Structure 1
Amino acid sequence: MSAPVVVGADGSSASLEAVAVAADEARLRGCGLKVVHAFVWPALDVPLAPSQLGPAEGELRDLAAQLVAGAAEHARSVAPDVEVGTAVVTGEPLTVLEAQSRSAPLVVVGSRGLGGFAGLLLGSTAVHLATHGRCPVMVVRSRPAATGPVLLGVDGSPAAEAAVGFAFAEAALRGTGIVALHAWTPWNVQVPPPQDPSEPYAREPGTLAAGERRLLAEVVAGQRERFPDVPVEHAVVRGGAREALIEASANAGLLVVGARGRGGFTGLLLGSVSQAVLHHAHCPVAVVRGSDARR
């Protein structure tokens, strides 16, 4: 059997939603599910001897084991046929789940856990994994719509090619369609100079929009050949990508984006559009890094 889907569990309601989504993902892939809890106390060198202030180490581990066991039972209630394993790993959640991502096909986490600040829309673990995970990372903001399409953010950059393939494969597993959305403005369109220097740089009205429609069609063409049974709707929007994707996510079962696109700064591992949808999308978001993700 292939490697299991990994889901982080910390006992929060957000992580239980992530466990349910991860169980569905494992069922769709025909693989197992691994529920992972990061056991933080020993990693922080907290004294664990019996005291009046708290339980002994054994009792803490028992609580952690009970937590993952409860999450595993929740997963089995969602997907009874999925083989569910558990692991309690000493370490910070960020480093533990990043290590798990090196061999997993997918890591699923809730948008916020027990740590962090109540006013934050997105927890540090979700942001960290989306930035550094070695496989696709799915952040669950809410349960996906049962029949909602997969919404794919397309910008035409080489870095986002892996996201396109993931989105089509996910739509095929779910038995749903793709809404491939490409947003553009005159300021972010790459316009080649005319071949003849004597020609004016000005273009006929509608030329830019036609070029962006062509870009979208070219990006999805190869995947349409691989997945001929996946219906694809093209959506070319003149406007900001962040706003367009967040609005469209209200009717989607999953939003898929690349970690970085053709905009932004080369040194950033997570682009501004990816960060925005992680914080504000109305459905789960999968962030897919490019071909360097497992290096």
Structure 2
Amino acid sequence: MSGLVIVGVDGSASSLAAVEAAAREARLRTAALEVVHAFLWPAPHAPLGPSPLGPPEGGMRNMVERLVAEAVERAGAAAPEVEVSHVVVTGEPLTVLEAQSRAAELVVVGSRGMGGFVGLMVGSTAVHLATHARSPVLVVRETARLDGPVVVGVDGSPAGDEAVEFAFQEAELRGTTLVALHAWTTWNAPLPAPPDPSEPYANPAEALGQEEERLLSEALAGHQKRHPDVVVEHKVVHGPTREALIEASRTAQLMVVGARGRGGFTGLLLGSVSQALLHHAHCPVAVVRGAAARR
């Protein structure tokens, strides 16, 4: 067994759904799974054990042990063959998971939470990790579907190239089709060379679409050679990127995007297309940062 998948848990229903998704990801990768709970200890003199006036199973320490045990049990039920460990780390959850991501192939979190991950909502932990983690981050928005394609947003940028590779790997592991989607508008499409230099702006309307088709094919070519068994559907959409990807997520089992991009995904930053997907996608969303950004 090689590799490590990490899942952040806090006892919420969202984090337990993330545990199940993380267990399946670990099984696909033949990787180990580590359940991580970040715990902010109370004031120095506050009792961690049960109160003398309360039930023996009370107290913060017992609560943490129960929620971690439930998460480990849920992981074992979802993927019995996966080696599952757990750790309770003292510290602020965002900082803890970012540090844990340095040793992981993938970090998985739910989109909302409570308890140890107070206020775990899209816009806090999920977005923070997608922005700063050293590994890809999978945010589980809804109950993950086990059918449908993997969809990847492609813009042809060097920053987005690792997201494309990650998507090919996921499609290969899952044994499903990869839909490579590139959205463009007349405002962000690179202009091809004009057919008549004397009329530099006289490009026929279809020339822009052909240029976008070429960009998508070139962005996929090297990855297709490395993953020849993956069936790829090229999808070029003339329209807004966010809407195109959100619509594609309705039938997908996974959506993959880069953290930054250009071209059809001009200004692809968390807070733009990626954040829109974290808020509105109908399937889990993986955000993959490029190597330069991780450094």
Fold-level similarity (TM above 0.5): yes
**Which deviates more from structure 2 when the two are superposed, residues 215-224 or residues 268-277?**
268-277
Q: Where in structure 2 are the equivalents of 1:1-295 lying within 5 Å?
A: 1-42=1-42, 45=43, 47-49=45-47, 59-114=59-114, 115-116=118-119, 122=122, 124-191=124-191, 198-262=198-262, 263=265, 270=270, 272-295=272-295
Aligned AA (1:92) = E
Deviations 1:73-110 (A, max 9, x none): 10000100000000000111110100011110000000
Q: Is contact 1:116-1:123 (8 Å) kept?
A: no
**TM-aligned CA distance change 1:89 to 1:188, over 3 Å:** same
1:200 CA drift (Å): 2.4
User: In 1, Cα distance between the equivalents of 2:228 and 2:63?
Assistant: 48
Q: Is contact 1:137-1:287 (8 Å) kept?
A: yes
User: In 1, Cα distance between the equivalents of 2:271 and 2:154?
Assistant: 13
Q: Secondary structure at the match of 2:160?
A: helix
Q: Is contact 1:246-1:280 (8 Å) kept?
A: yes
Identity value in percent: 64
1:148 CA drift (Å): 1.1
1:61 CA drift (Å): 2.5
User: In 1, Cα distance between the equivalents of 2:96 and 2:147?
Assistant: 33
**TM-aligned CA distance change 1:48 to 1:181, over 3 Å:** same
Q: Is contact 1:7-1:22 (8 Å) kept?
A: yes
Q: Is contact 1:254-1:286 (8 Å) kept?
A: yes
User: In 1, Cα distance between the equivalents of 2:10 and 2:97?
Assistant: 12
User: In 1, Cα distance between the equivalents of 2:179 and 2:54?
Assistant: 52
User: In 2, Cα distance between the equivalents of 1:145 and 1:49?
Assistant: 43
User: In 2, Cα distance between the equivalents of 1:123 and 1:204?
Assistant: 42
Q: TM-score, with normalisation over the residues of structure 1?
A: 0.90
1:123 CA drift (Å): 5.1
Aligned AA (1:87) = V
Q: Is contact 1:260-1:271 (8 Å) kept?
A: no
User: In 1, Cα distance between the equivalents of 2:175 and 2:272?
Assistant: 30
1:192 CA drift (Å): 5.3
Aligned AA (1:135) = S
1:2 CA drift (Å): 2.5
Q: Secondary structure at the match of 1:206?
A: helix
1:116 CA drift (Å): 2.2
1:179 CA drift (Å): 0.6
Aligned CA-pair RMSD: 2.4
Q: Is contact 1:134-1:294 (8 Å) kept?
A: yes
For structure 1, list consecutive stretches of 5 or more residues without a partner in the other structure: none
